[in-house]
DNA sequence: CGGGTTTGACCCGCGC
DNA sequence: GCGCGGGTCAAACCCG
């Protein structure tokens, strides 16, 4: 398989029937550090890491701009934090956020870079992302077995039973949610392709939004990673993609060594390093952000907010070759990464 | 025919 | 307890 091949077999974006072919949204160099205070436990997640790209797939942590190693030692992340990268490749904005667990934030204006959080409370995350193995995958919600609930319901509803012999679910057992990572993309393409193969398993209308939300599941056997894709109602030009879980396999279209980014999976729950590939490993199509993107939260607030020592080498790609070319020529990508505290963080700070 | 999408039905959690 | 919304299932359908 050719390196970094842009698949043309991505099914049309199933997003509301709109949007043509799938798109490639390749994050090829991301390093995030989340540090928190206030006694919160912090969760350190990385986009590609959540995608199942692990340390062994990439080179040691490296600053592609300064060509010097970066060693980050993030404090424990907040248990309920979810990271979100807000990427606007039209306006050259990149916003990194920790998703607030407060659902109210979903109404925030994405344009202002405040993070949305259509992602619900993730404090239920019980799986240690540091162990991205089959066990964590198998504990995903859709693989929870046992159930008396549904069988019980069936006892009272023969019609339902004959109609849907649904999988059992364990009563009184909270569904274990995988860590999630969401990011917002300014794109007319709904289904952003990250190199993995996804199967759409559902679509739901979103309240107060004319745009539906699509649910995808990784098609690889044994991999329970899911992702949701929805277009923001506030700003229809933005697409919110939320990943849940970690791939238990390499990216099918990204051979080893071409991965642009990963976080040492052992970093979860304990300080560790983030991994960024050496620049020479980046493939031609990978956008390399300027040094200014090597953001490190060094503001006075860094003691209270997550600091993202992050930079993105990031280039959305599209099946459409024309679009691809466009993206390639976008030198202004990610020049301005904005770190914004989430509502919750802001609230906590106010309380202090 | 196999794999992916569509879509209506259903379950569950949560807020009121 | 009830209703709502999110998430999932699976039959039907589509397509290469």
What three-state secondary structure class fits A82?
strand
Please check whether strand C approaches the CB of A268 to within 7 Å. no
Task: State the Cα–Cα distance between residues A190 and A193, nearest whole angstrom.
Answer: 9
CA distance A152 to A158: 11
Which nucleotide C1' is nearest A202 CA? Answer: C8
- Residue A17, classified by CB atoms within 10 Å of its CB into exposed (0-12), middle (13-18) or buried (19+), is exposed
Between CA A323 and C1' B10 the distance (Å) reads 40
Per-position pLDDT tens, chain A of length 352? 333 333 333 333 333 333 333 333 333 333 333 333 333 333 333 444 444 444 333 333 333 333 333 333 333 333 334 444 554 444 444 444 443 333 333 333 333 333 333 333 333 333 333 333 333 333 333 333 333 333 333 333 333 333 444 444 333 344 556 667 777 777 777 776 677 888 888 888 888 888 888 888 888 777 778 888 888 877 778 888 888 877 777 776 544 433 333 333 333 333 333 333 333 332 322 222 333 333 232 333 333 333 333 333 333 333 333 333 223 223 323 333 233 333 333 333 333 4
Nearest to A57 by CA among A28, A34, A26, A82: A28
Q: In what order do the strands lie in the sheet with A23-30?
A: A192-193, A23-30, A312-318
Tokens of A177: 């949610």
Structure tokens that stand for A10 in this block: 């991505």
Distance between the alpha carbon (CA) of A175 and the C1' atom of B12, Å: 10
Q: Is the CB of A226 under 7 A from strand C?
A: yes
- The pair of structure tokens assigned to A33 is 């550090």
> Over the range A310-324, which residues count as b (16 or more CB within 10 Å of their CB) and which as e?
bbbbbbbbbbbeebb
Per CA to C1' distance, which residue is closest to B3? A199
CATH superfamily of the A180-241 domain = WRKY domain (2.20.25.80)
Domain ranges of chain A: 180-241
CA distances from A27 to A51, A158, A258, A260, A276 (A): 11, 49, 11, 7, 11
Distance A342 CA to B12 C1' (A): 28
- Write the Ramachandran bin of A30: left for phi over 0, alpha for psi from -120 to 50, otherwise beta: beta
Q: Which of residues 73-132 of A touch strand C (CB under 7 A)?
A: 118-120
CA A42 to mean position of chain CA atoms: 16
Q: Phi/psi at A265 (nearest 5 deg)? A: -60, -20
CA atoms within 13 A on the CB side of A177: 18
Q: What is the pTM of this model?
A: 0.49
Tell me if residue A115 falls in helix, strand or coil: coil
């Amino acid at each position: 398989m050719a390196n970094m091949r842009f698949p043309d077999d991505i099914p049309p974006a199933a997003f509301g029937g709109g949007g043509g072919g799938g798109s490639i949204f390749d994050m090829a160099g991301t390093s995030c550090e989340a540090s928190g205070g206030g006694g919160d436990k912090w969760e350190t997640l990385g986009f590609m890491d959540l995608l199942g790209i692990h340390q062994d797939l990439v080179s040691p942590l490296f600053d592609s701009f300064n060509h010097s190693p970066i060693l980050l030692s993030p404090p424990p992340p907040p248990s309920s934090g979810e990271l979100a990268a807000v990427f606007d490749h039209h306006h050259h904005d990149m916003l990194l956020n920790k998703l607030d667990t407060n659902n109210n934030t979903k109404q925030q204006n994405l344009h202002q870079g405040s993070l949305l959080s259509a992602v619900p409370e993730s404090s239920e995350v019980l799986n240690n992302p540091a162990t991205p193995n089959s066990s964590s995958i198998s504990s995903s919600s859709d693989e929870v077995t046992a159930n008396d609930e549904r069988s019980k319901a069936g006892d009272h509803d023969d019609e339902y039973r004959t109609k849907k012999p649904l999988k059992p679910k364990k009563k009184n057992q909270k569904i274990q949610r995988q860590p999630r990572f969401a990011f917002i993309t300014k794109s007319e393409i709904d289904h952003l392709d990250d190199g993995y193969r996804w199967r759409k398993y559902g679509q739901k209308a979103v309240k107060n939004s004319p745009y539906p939300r699509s649910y995808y599941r990784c098609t690889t056997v044994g991999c329970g990673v899911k992702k949701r894709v929805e277009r923001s109602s506030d700003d229809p030009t933005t697409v919110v993609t939320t990943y849940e879980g970690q791939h238990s396999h390499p990216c099918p279209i990204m051979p080893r060594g071409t991965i642009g980014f990963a976080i040492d999976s052992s970093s979860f729950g304990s300080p560790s390093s983030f991994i960024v590939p050496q620049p020479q490993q980046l493939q031609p199509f990978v956008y390399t952000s300027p040094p200014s993107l090597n953001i490190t939260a060094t503001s006075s607030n860094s003691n209270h907010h997550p600091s993202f020592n992050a930079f993105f080498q990031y280039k959305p790609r599209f099946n459409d070759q024309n679009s691809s070319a466009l993206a390639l020529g976008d030198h202004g990508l990610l020049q301005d990464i904005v770190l914004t505290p989430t509502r919750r963080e802001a609230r906590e700070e106010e309380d202090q």
